[in-house]
Amino acid sequence: MRELLKQHKQELWPALPLDSWRPTYDTLHMWTQIVGKIRMTLTPPVNHYWHVPLYVNARGLTTSLIPYRESTFELSFDFIDHVLVLHSSDGRRQLLPLIPRTVADFYQRVMHMLQSADIDVKISRMPQEFPDPIPFDEDVIHKAYDPDAVQKFWRILLSAQCVFDQFRSQFIGKSSPVHFFWGSFDLAVTRFSGRRAPAKPGADKMTSEAYSHEVSSVGFWPGSGDINGAAFYSYAAPEPKGFREAQVSPGEAYYDSKLGEYILMYDDVRNSASPDAAVLDFCQSTYEAAAKFGEWDRDSLERTA
């Protein structure tokens, strides 16, 4: 029985060292940006840019419904059969295999797939939040696709989504959906105090909109840059005095002063006795620190029964 439970935990929270799938990660990052920009371009704007993200579903990642003229369509990454699926409300369905292919080839094929479904859209060809960006239609560098690694990544997103949904359910104030930001390539959920935040000097339009109100945000990110590995993160914006000195759970979590965020490494989560409980403790304890030091009106924001 113990071995079966261990195997089940490994299936829900699989090992995924950053170095083992980095070429695929970079390629998939660009592919999700192409699909995400299609959604962003055609979907009516929503506060805090909530019309931009993708969503985890039972087979991968999806745009959700996108309005187009008198109809709708949806683009979905299926990480079980490894295809990009175009569903149209007129009954059309098209597939693009997810195989090793350049970003430039993927871009051209996605645009052709849309055109063949009578969907005309133009997107910015420049990647966001990516070092040394290459326009999508010129990128022949990123071309890896490891289906096993991608499926493991999706299963981690599924597990994180379930915990974030549970965490979100205890808050009756304003809260974001649990959504996947293709720019920063992370899954996140954000709680709001209900108060406006001071304007950030020099912030761009997107940042100003995203942080127009006080927030406590938690998420999962597969790593790169300053964090060499997958990690859960949590931050408060604006950060209240005392937040970074708070005692948070589990014990492996720490405050990264360079990032301005609490970090809990994914390997510490997956190796814990209960990964779900470890992530939920991290979400709750870092939120409580933000709410306590930010003097949130918790009685009116939290579910008591």
3-state secondary structure 258-301: CCCEEEEEHHHHHCCCCHHHHHHHHHHHHHHHHHHHCCCCHHHH
Judgement on whether residues 117 and 190 belong to the same structural domain of the protein: no
Closest alpha carbon to 188 in 210, 231, 217, 225: 217
Q: Are strands 254-256 and 261-265 parallel, antiparallel or unpaired?
A: antiparallel
What are the distances in angstroms from CA 287 to CA 54, 241, 301? Answer: 24, 14, 12
d(C-alpha 67, C-alpha 155), whole Å = 29
In contact, 52 and 40? CB cutoff 8 Å: yes
Judgement on whether residues 153 and 71 belong to the same structural domain of the protein: no
Judgement on whether residues 157 and 58 belong to the same structural domain of the protein: no
Closest alpha carbon to 29 in 97, 115, 109, 131: 131
Closest alpha carbon to 47 in 230, 229, 196: 196
- pTM here is 0.95
Judgement on whether residues 217 and 162 belong to the same structural domain of the protein: yes
Domain count, the chain: 2
Of 109, 138, 167, the last residue of a domain is: 138
Of 85, 110, 138, the last residue of a domain is: 138
Q: Is residue 68 part of a domain?
A: yes
Residues of the domain holding 34: 17-138
Judgement on whether residues 275 and 152 belong to the same structural domain of the protein: yes
Per-residue pLDDT tens listing for the chain (305 residues): 455 456 666 789 999 999 999 999 999 999 999 999 999 999 999 999 999 999 999 999 999 999 999 999 999 999 999 999 999 999 999 999 999 999 999 999 999 999 999 999 999 999 999 989 999 999 999 999 999 999 999 999 999 999 999 999 999 999 999 999 999 999 999 999 999 999 888 888 888 888 999 999 999 999 987 788 999 999 999 999 999 999 999 999 999 999 999 999 999 999 999 999 999 999 999 999 999 999 999 999 999 87
